[in-house]
Structure 1
């Protein structure tokens, strides 16, 4: 690895391994697997199929399905033509799919057959989509026929590392998702910078189970590709799928803490099986300290790595490495987000004055890194608000940095709720509930939950009789299930400050008193 130059394009490493170890295993998925030579051929054929359908530099294609190698194939193939892949959350409701697909400007959509019914319902609203290609887990599908019929093509001469390669949609403070544009250079920088702790040894296999629409899925998948090691991809993140991957030899993975909790609660056999994991990376939501301590005791030989990051930074910007997890003299750092990855900078800034605060004090966390997104798709104003003129990204997270460089994330300026690794903006849920005829006012907050870290709760003022059950059902018809309130309180009025702003802090207080929100 040391003699390999750092790649400039996403397709370089697949091509390299296809040339140097063509018959070695690259990807395993359900009952199928591919060597590096086969996988490279599939990617080149898909690039040819996209070119035949008019996809060129600056265009966008989209992928909608559960985890499937075709998503990574599309990402790399499209990038080789200078096009971006919008990876769509398959859990979105029809109204959300309509918005995201149109906002992305996608010309080609590859979609799982089980989601075609949802696409058919909105097909006449998809003004940019010219081609829809169906894909199935088994491979007896239109996608495979397209690959077979196409002519392989190499990377286009006009492609640049700064071309957008992935667009990931995260809920936005305007109530609509924003497309985060990640370039080839961004993704490669993340792969190189966040690699520590995820090094592979001979015989290792990578388990790719985090949803690929999540940056923790797509960015993490790049590690094994970069190093030339095989991956075992699961379609779902359930116990049977994860166990199946481990039986196939997968021994390094990245998952959300909620999965770890489920394993620990599943009995001795499950705990013993997961003991074969060399590395367990976790992130996307806080790990409750009692859960983390249970895990460290249950798996004394496993290296645990916590990742803190944001989609806008391609994923990991700081990490708590294995040795810090088992440092008896610094146990307080278990509640930290670790230290910066290489080639990254952090500032802690007073969000009102924008002045840097003294060391150790709280402020808004700002980061600067080559991993930082190009911007929000079609939203230059939102981009300007998030990125300063000198390249600092304003996270909206409140935290501090201790004298050892450990970052503590302690609250959030943004009204974002992180439930089981999914980012949920309260304003998006509020927008939907406000559409109910009985609702006059609504405020949405996150409340602690032992399994998911936190879950969505709404507090509403109504003008006519309506039940909590009816309001939750109303939300479920219009939002992905994980965004819907688990509970709703009906009240006479919402607490406000003298200027009329709703005091969400007061609504949260009875639920969070006595708890550290970052480590619940």
Structure 2
């Protein structure tokens, strides 16, 4: 039986206590849980596995070395540890060891160039940098340039070592003292709307996230998740990795390869899978190239009873993608809404109906409401503490009574006609799975009236044209049903007459003129929502999570 997690109120002000996640790992080890983390690449004869017992043993040993290294840090510098490691067993051990040492985890992207890494290390004032062997050649010069202590984690399951760089000062073992309100994790915003900011989460707020997702998504130690996302991002590190470890589940890391991942998902081992819309598109493209026999085998394999749910997040899920995947897999993708500053705030339900284009209802531990402009406001124990060294930005993003201003616009419920459209959409997607769709109509009307739909990022997805406020995401969802449009981004191009012109930037399969697009669009959209301009490109700018970087498109128009 796992120990109950103490509340933030009970932990506040306490010192010298074990980080909640480390306490959970200890309990899982004592319970004899096997298969904590697996590394599989689809090529090796056998995956590499570490048990919870060995995971905890490594955590204890490495944390002592981190305590020593931090004890020699310059006076006044924070206990922040930046680390650059590929998703792996080594990554997990470093994260847990940092927490066990009472320090703050600052995971960085393995795809960042040296100047970005320098910015992150300097911005967080991290006195210690750690890497895996594969990233040492990139990260050590950064640490040396900035005068930071540096160490490399190496070894293989079940034993790992942490080796300080030559010349790193030796230090006596320090005393670990910290409290629930101390910084546990600093993640950087994507920087799509400005310079990346360091988002500070406390031991209390990260624990509140695990508790919330455990309740909402029914995580248990019997779960086994396939992990293909980056681990410097809220989706990869909190929603998947840490929530799984919190519950004693198995996390299987693998580089993304559509064929290998589909084979693992259909193996009967995997119970849940989290991804971004782009991955489901790549799966679909892979299946289209398979033989009829192999395709049928994989599609049937995804209908196994152990695969509880599949998530799509971090970017808007186009309804055509959702419908196509329902037909392929028998799963209606679970959409949810969150961001670096808040973890997860909204989610469709595990059981019952899921509505296309909707992100559901508030999660446990989260309060959600809309301001007068339709902006999403969030409050609760999952919300971050501050932007590091940026008091002005922190203050700007909170209301006077403590609600975090997400910067996203939403609609809650809608008119009778709009709610009927939601019902019809849910029925269509459920029919695509081959299951009985009659249950869709049984959802309580009050619940449907309180469901949230994301209209877009206020800064880039809300277009103000001719006096109208228009959701770019709504238009994109419609455009993607056009047989010649493979991908699209709808933006507001500055215009003296209209304020902003609705502009469709598209990757096409064939030829399509603006006239043809407008004629087609007028049959499906209000006239003021139909694109006034069409720009054809070979590819759209996306970040590592597959999210459209509309700011890069808009920046071209400002040049």
Give me the TM-score of the superposition, normalised by structure 2. Answer: 0.67
Deviation at 1:64, TM superposition (A): 1.4
Match in the other structure for 1:12: 23
Which of the residues 366, 386, 389 maps onto 1:378? 389
Alpha carbons 1:79, 1:165 under 8 Å: kept = yes
Alignment match, 1:495: 495
Structure 2 residue 356 is matched with structure 1 residue 345: no
Matches of residues 469-480 of structure 1 in structure 2 within 5 Å? none
Give me the whole-angstrom Cα distance separating, in 2, the residues matched to 1:389 and 1:74: 38
Task: Tell me which residue corresponds to 1:401.
Answer: 412
Q: Which residue of 1 aligns with 2:455?
A: 410
Counterpart contact for 2:50–2:158, Cα < 8 Å: no
- SS of residue matched to 2:495: coil
Structure-2 separation of matches of 1:393 and 1:13:
29
- Alignment equivalent of 1:310, drawn from 305, 320, 339: 339
Distance 1:140 1:38, change over 3 A: closer
Q: Give the 3 Å change call, closer, same or farther, for CA 203–19 of structure 1 in structure 2.
A: closer
Which structure is larger by alpha-carbon Rg, 1 or 2? 2
Contact 2:80 2:104 in 1 (8 A): yes
CA distance in 2, matches of 1:388, 1:4: 36
User: Which sits farther off after the overlay, 213-222 or 450-459?
Assistant: 450-459
Q: 1:10 to 1:126 in 2, by over 3 A?
A: same
Structure 1 residue 160 corresponds to structure 2 residue 184: no
Report the equivalent of 2:501.
506
Change (3 A) 1:160 1:347: same
The answer to which of 216-225 and 195-204 deviates more is 195-204
Distance 1:295 1:252 in 2: 15
Shift of 1:95: 2.2
Aligned length: 423
CA contact (8 A) 1:278 1:303 kept: no
Q: Aligned with 1:33: secondary structure?
A: strand
Checking the alignment, whether the CA contact within 8 Å between 1:215 and 1:311 is kept in structure 2 is yes
Return the alpha-carbon distance in structure 2 between the equivalents of residues 202 and 383 of structure 1: 37
Asked if structure 2 preserves the Cα contact closer than 8 Å seen for 1:279 and 1:304, the reply is: yes
Partner of 1:78: 98
Q: Write out aligned runs for 1:114-263 (5 A).
A: 114-119=134-139, 122-127=142-147, 129-133=148-152, 135=154, 144=161, 146=163, 158-172=177-191, 175-196=194-215, 198-200=217-219, 203-219=222-238, 220-234=240-254, 236-243=255-262, 245-246=264-265, 247=267, 249-263=269-283
- Out of 328, 345, 357, the residue aligned to residue 298 of structure 1 is 328
Aligned partner of 2:318 in structure 1 is: 288
Seen in structure 2, the aligned counterparts of structure 1 residues 273 and 76 have a Cα distance that, compared at 3 Å, is same
Distance change >3 Å, CA 214–CA 82, structure 1 → 2: same
Q: Aligned-pair distance for 1:456?
A: 10
2: CA distance, partners of 1:83 / 1:455: 41
Aligned to 2:68: 52
CA distance in 1: counterparts of 2:348 and 2:4, whole angstroms: 27
For structure 1, which segment, 258-267 or 335-344, has the greater mean C-alpha deviation from structure 2 after superposition? 258-267
User: SS of 1:54's equivalent?
Assistant: helix
Q: Tell me, which stretches of 5 or more residues in structure 2 are unaligned?
A: 8-19, 41-46, 165-171, 288-294, 414-445, 463-471, 507-516, 532-546, 549-559
Deviation at 1:175, TM superposition (A): 3.1
Q: Could you tell me how far 1:202 is from its partner in structure 2?
A: 7.2
Aligned match of 1:93:
113
Task: Give the drift of 1:209.
Answer: 2.3
Partner Cα separation in structure 2 for residue 15 and residue 156 of structure 1: 20
Determine whether 1:34 maps to 2:50: yes
Question: 1:227 and 1:155 mapped to 2: Cα distance?
Answer: 30
User: Following TM superposition, by how much is the alpha carbon of 1:397 offset from its aligned partner in structure 2, in angstroms?
Assistant: 0.6
Gaps of 5+ in 1: 148-152, 327-332, 352-362, 418-444, 460-493
Check conservation: 1:198, 1:223, Cα contact below 8 A: no
CA contact (8 A) 1:64 1:90 kept: yes
The aligned residue for residue 334 of structure 1 is 356
Deviation at residue 266 of structure 1 after TM alignment: 1.9
Q: Per the alignment, in what secondary structure is the counterpart of residue 286 of structure 2?
A: coil
Output the CA distance in 2 between the equivalents of 1:102 and 1:64: 15
1:304 and 1:321 in contact (8 A); partners too: no
Change (3 A) 1:452 1:132: farther
Which of 46, 65, 69 matches 2:85?
65
Q: Could you tell me how far 1:159 is from its partner in structure 2?
A: 1.6
Cα pair 2:488 2:505 within 8 Å, conserved:
no
The Cα offsets for residues 388-421 of structure 1, whole Å up to 9 and x where unpaired, read as 232211011111211532111112223489xxxx
Q: Which string of whole-angstrom CA distances, capped at 9 and with x for unpartnered residues, describes residues 357-411 of structure 1?
A: xxxxxx1111101100011111111111112232211011111211532111112
1:49 CA drift (Å) = 1.3
Alignment RMSD (CA, Å): 3.8
Distance 1:516 1:366, change over 3 A: farther
Specify which structure has the bigger relative contact order, considering alpha-carbon pairs within 8 angstroms and separated by 6 or more residues.
1
| Cα gap change, 1:271 to 1:113, in 2 (>3 Å) | farther
